[in-house]
């Protein structure tokens, strides 16, 4: 009979243990599984939405790539700043000659690095008729190169205008060659 009481006591302790330890752990585990399932379901929905909009994103990428190629094609030659500066001055003189504007001076260009690009700022001092100056400005803004007028000062001296124009353009930075070590 002593064994029977021991078994009953053991079963009672087991029941208490199961009800206070194992059952709450099982409930927490079930709640954790439900949370994991919900999170995975949300993630699946997000991935399905991305999959559905794949063509839209491809179109955006192609548009950005095309825009980047357009910007690179319209930029001044990269590499050394002297090359970009010479090209900018050559363009400015060419546009001025086409428009009939007399360039009296070109300042030394100012350089500024912006991300992977070099910003060139050039001041052109010039003289010409109103129509010629407007033609020069039109050529600057509508040419193949991405040049923009950011400053404009003119004074009238019958029948011509005298003044200066500040023009900016961009050139890509060249990849700097990596130094090799001979060991």
Taking only the tens place, the pLDDT of each residue in 45-63 is 999 888 888 888 889 989 9
Q: What is the mean pLDDT of residues 93-105?
A: 90
Q: What is the pLDDT of residue 177?
A: 46
Contact call for residues 151 and 175 (beta carbons, < 8 A) = no
How many Å apart are CA 99 and CA 133, to the nearest integer? Answer: 7
How many Å apart are CA 63 and CA 71, to the nearest integer? Answer: 12
Q: Please, which pLDDT band fits residue 110 given cuts at 50, 70 and 90?
A: confident
Residue 114, helix vs strand vs coil:
strand
Q: Which of 175, 176, 169, 174 is nearest to 71 (CA)?
A: 169
Contact call for residues 126 and 165 (beta carbons, < 8 A) = yes
Q: What is the mean pLDDT of residues 67-91?
A: 82
Summary mean pLDDT of the chain: 84
How many Å apart are CA 155 and CA 110, to the nearest integer? Answer: 24
Q: Which residues pair with 121 in a beta bridge?
A: 110, 168
Tell me how far the alpha carbon of residue 37 is from its chain's centroid: 37
The torsion of the CA quartet 154, 164, 153, 134, rounded to 10 degrees, works out to 60
Q: What is the pLDDT of residue 73?
A: 77
Tell me how far the alpha carbon of residue 55 is from its chain's centroid: 21
Q: Which residues pair with 171 in a beta bridge?
A: 118
Q: What is the mean pLDDT of residues 16-32?
A: 82
Residues in the chain: 183
How many Å apart are CA 29 and CA 39, to the nearest integer? Answer: 15
């Amino acid at each position: 009979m002593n064994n029977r009481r021991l078994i009953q006591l053991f079963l009672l302790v087991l029941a208490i243990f199961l009800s206070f330890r194992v059952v709450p752990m099982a409930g927490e585990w079930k709640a954790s599984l439900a949370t994991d399932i919900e999170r995975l379901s949300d993630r699946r929905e997000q991935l399905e939405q991305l999959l559905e909009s794949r063509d839209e994103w491809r179109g955006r990428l192609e548009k950005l790539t095309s825009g980047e190629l357009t910007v690179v094609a319209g930029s001044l030659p990269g590499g050394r700043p002297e090359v970009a500066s010479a090209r900018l001055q050559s363009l400015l003189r060419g546009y001025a000659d086409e428009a009939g504007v007399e360039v009296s001076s070109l300042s030394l260009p100012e350089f500024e690095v912006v991300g992977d690009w070099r910003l060139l700022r050039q001041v052109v001092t010039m003289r010409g008729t109103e129509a010629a100056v407007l033609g020069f400005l039109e050529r600057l803004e509508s040419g193949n190169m991405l040049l923009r007028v950011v400053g404009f000062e003119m004074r009238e001296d019958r029948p011509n205008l005298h003044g200066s124009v500040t023009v900016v353009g961009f050139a890509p930075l060249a990849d700097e060659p990596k130094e090799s070590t001979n060991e």
